[in-house]
Amino acid sequence: MRIAIRGGRVIDPAQQLDTVTDLFIAAGRIAGIGEPPADFVAEQLIDATGRIVCPGLIDLCARLREPGQEHKATIASEARAAAAGGITTVVCPPDTDPVIDEPAVVELIRRRAKAAGQTRVLTLGALTHRLRGEHLAEMAALRDAGCLGVSDGGRTIASSRVLRRALEYAATFNLTVFLTPLDPELGQGLAHEGQVATRLGLSGIPVAAETGIIARDLELIRDLGVRVHFGRLSSARAVELVARARADGLPVSADTAIHHLHLSEIDLSGFDSRCHLRPPLRGLRDLEALRAGLASGVLGALCSDHQPHEPDAKQAPFGDTEPGLSGLETLLALSLRLARDGVLPLSTLLERLTCGPARILGLDSGHLGIGASADVCIFDPDAEWRLTPDTLRSQGQNSPFLGWSLQGQVTHTLFEGRLVYARDAHD
């Protein structure tokens, strides 16, 4: 299919491109920018006048719930949600059921993602067998099966001895290790340890539950030189630790989830279970520090930390609900709000959603260079819409942003040169 995207404002942070021009796609690849290749005849025209054309978004953490929890969501349902959100690549952590600790599970996810055909699903292999933090997984086999890295799957390894061995093993195979810093003992609470949690009678999770683990991990990284990415940071002190480590030359990177840049512990008032998250929403000072860390580049990527749930998982007393929110379809709109608030320029923001995550994954993607896969997001930056259950395509309806008025809406998503979402066709 040969497609011409006409008159859009093309922003490609990887090429420092920001201009109104045309984009041409052929055989699933970017065939030209500005001028079409010789003998190019478009089979489909997309009018992008007044809209922004950028690389498809890359989400570093999205739980698709399949295999094992299909009552919450499936790869097919969440692939549709990703396409509606302009996301063309999602990274699936290994905490599926069964755990991604053997090649057969990697192949299962790959087949079902291919059948869905609306977004690229990349997998992270388990760092330890069954994610139990006791015995190392077969990392070489997982790498050969297609895993881009290995991860603790959100279940921090308590044993420093086991973690050191795992990091050594990963370094042997040149694998990036994706870690979630949350002490398994200190992190057993329900909310950020502070005045709000005390007033509501909720057990607290101190900042030290995050920073203590990061400090330990950084010392191991300093000894071993392994590449490590810290996912979903939530505190000001964590940003400081990662900034110092990067200044010291350690091979570390980090991201944060978009909701931590818009919500804080104050939003727990009323025991809103949609704000029951892990890591928890923290204080306003932490929110501002995360925003500053994203702007400075200490945090090299934004993610959705997508965790869809069935209604029963959230309709209970706060302490009995499951943590997590559905975030694929709000990632872009909530991110654009940061640019409008002056937190960082639009081009820099899009970098944190496209080539920034690609760089962390070690991929040559997230850009619109000639010959690149035609993964493209087109959005109307001025379109205003209200998030309601009816507007969500995710099987999970658990979003604390329901009822919010948002600005910036995806109109088209192309994945490998195929139009997989068009707003007018779905509304």
Listed residue (399, 287, 280, 406) closest to 343, CA to CA: 287
Q: What is the DSSP string of 204-250?
A: EE-THHHHHHHHHHHHHHHHH---EEE-S---HHHHHHHHHHHHTT-
Note if 424 is an active site residue: no
Q: Which secondary-structure segment (H or E) carries 5?
A: strand 3-12
Which residues are 258's β-sheet partners?
none
Which residues are 52's β-sheet partners?
9, 379
Which residue type sits at 58?
Answer: I
Give yes or no for a contact between 151 and 125, defined as CB atoms under 8 angstroms apart: yes
Helices (H) and strands (E) in the chain, counts: 12, 19
Which residue type sits at 315?
Answer: Q
Report the distance separating Cα 256 and Cα 360, nearest Å. Answer: 13
Report the distance separating Cα 424 and Cα 427, nearest Å. Answer: 5
Give yes or no for a contact between 234 and 212, defined as CB atoms under 8 angstroms apart: no
Give yes or no for a contact between 181 and 214, defined as CB atoms under 8 angstroms apart: yes
Which residues are 125's β-sheet partners?
150
- Sorted by sequence, the CB contacts under 8 Å of residue 301 that are 6+ apart come out as 58, 60, 253, 255, 352, 353, 356, 357, 360
Which member of 305, 312, 375, 390 is catalytic? Answer: 305
Which residues are 257's β-sheet partners?
303
Residue 139 φ then ψ, to 5°: -65, -35
Helices 75-84 & 103-116, crossing angle to 10 degrees?
Answer: 50
Residues designated as active site: 305
